Amino acid sequence: MTAVTTALHRALAADPDLLVLDEEVAEALHEGRPVVALESSAIPQGPAFPANLDLALDIDAAVRASGSVPARIALLGGKILVGMDKDRLEQFATDTSIPKVSTRGVGLTLAGGGAGGTTVSSSLLAADLAGIPVFAVAGIGGVHRDAPQSFDISADLVQFTRSRTAVVCAGAKSMLHPAWTLEWLETAGIPVVGYRCDDFPAYLSVSTGVRNPHRIDDLREIAAVAATHWQVGNETSLLVTHPISEADGIPTADIEAALADATALAEAAGVTGPAITPYLLKAIAEATEGRTSAANRAVLLSTATLAGEFAVQMSLELAERAGESQ
């Protein structure tokens, strides 16, 4: 069974009353055209309206400009939405009460009929059900720096072991431990490939100082790696990393200094668990005088652009393999 037929099988197996595909997304998937899955949690929980809506629309536009169809994922009314039009985006952008929902909360949210902004992990769950092989996000979750004491490891990493999806990202979020995150990914059998970069990126900074396990400078070659990874029976994701541009990034030293101060404040305030990431990001933004907002916007757009380009190559690779198998 090829990666294409596997994806189609999963999409057909999903409950059509539970998984609602936007007409444009459904048509693109049916025709084998490139689609990029996107999360939605950053819309209600991100910048204030209308900046959050403008950013979401700009990300969608970046995906389209690269030749792919954006498929933003969200939970609403007991359904998993795959693809959101402007009206739906505005609904999420104007309602800050909509919570972030990771994989463990999907069943609870759907059964309750409420709304939920999907995180990386829950978005991957839905993308896999819909048969979308490419997902874009600026920074993934990972192993926290206090993990030996807190056991705090993002649900993103666990979901990577369950979803046949290529994740295009700019590395792990700044407050995480890059070496431990890469070690966890290696243990789980999840390939990490740097696209035209030697170092594992640091989300808002160009480099963590830790090397990517592999570097490939051609997107079609990476697509071939992903397709082969799934063809031999692997059920895990593949990470494609590429950094923020140096002009848009924040120096690592500045981030580390802000993070050290923010971590001390979090400990004193007793902030732990899911609340720690947004707390630290907010503190870093304040310490860097808002530079993180501009950097975050830049890396979201650059990652969306790259994901769109990669999805084009991925669709060509999968179509070619499907043709060969007939």
The string of pLDDT tens digits covering residues 80-119 is 999 999 999 999 999 999 999 999 999 999 999 999 999 9
Q: Show binding-site residues for substrate.
A: 100, 120, 154-156
Model pTM score: 0.92
Residues of the binding site: 100, 120, 152, 154-156
Q: What are the residues whose beta carbons fall under 8 Å from the beta carbon of 240, sequence distance 6 or more?
A: 166, 167, 168, 169, 193, 195, 222, 306, 310
- The CA distance from 50 to 64, in Å, is 21
Q: What is the pLDDT of residue 288?
A: 79
Nearest by Cα to 80 from 128, 34, 28, 43: 128
- In whole angstroms, what is the distance from residue 230 CA to residue 235 CA? 6
Written as six digits, the tokens of 311 are 């999805």
- Under 8 Å CB-to-CB from 156, ≥6 apart: which residues? 119, 120, 121, 124, 140, 141, 142
Are the beta carbons of 17 and 35 closer than 8 angstroms? no
Q: Torsion-angle region of residue 116: left (phi > 0), alpha (psi -120 to 50) or beta?
A: beta
CATH number of the domain residue 213 falls in: 3.40.1790.10
pLDDT along the chain (326 residues), means of 10: 46 70 95 97 94 98 98 97 97 97 96 97 95 97 91 96 97 93 98 98 96 98 98 96 96 88 84 78 78 92 98 96 79
Residue 40, helix vs strand vs coil: coil
**Cα dihedral value 86, 91, 92, 96, nearest 10:** 150
Active-site residue numbers?
39, 173
Give the total number of structural domains in the chain: 1
Range of the domain at 121: 3-325
Q: CA 317, CA 220: separation in Å to the nearest integer?
A: 7
Q: Positive or negative CA dihedral for 138, 300, 28, 31?
A: negative
Is the sign of the CA dihedral 245, 120, 278, 172 positive or negative? negative
Q: E-assigned strands of the chain?
A: 19-21, 35-38, 69-76, 79-82, 100-101, 116-118, 134-136, 166-169, 192-195, 214-216, 238-241
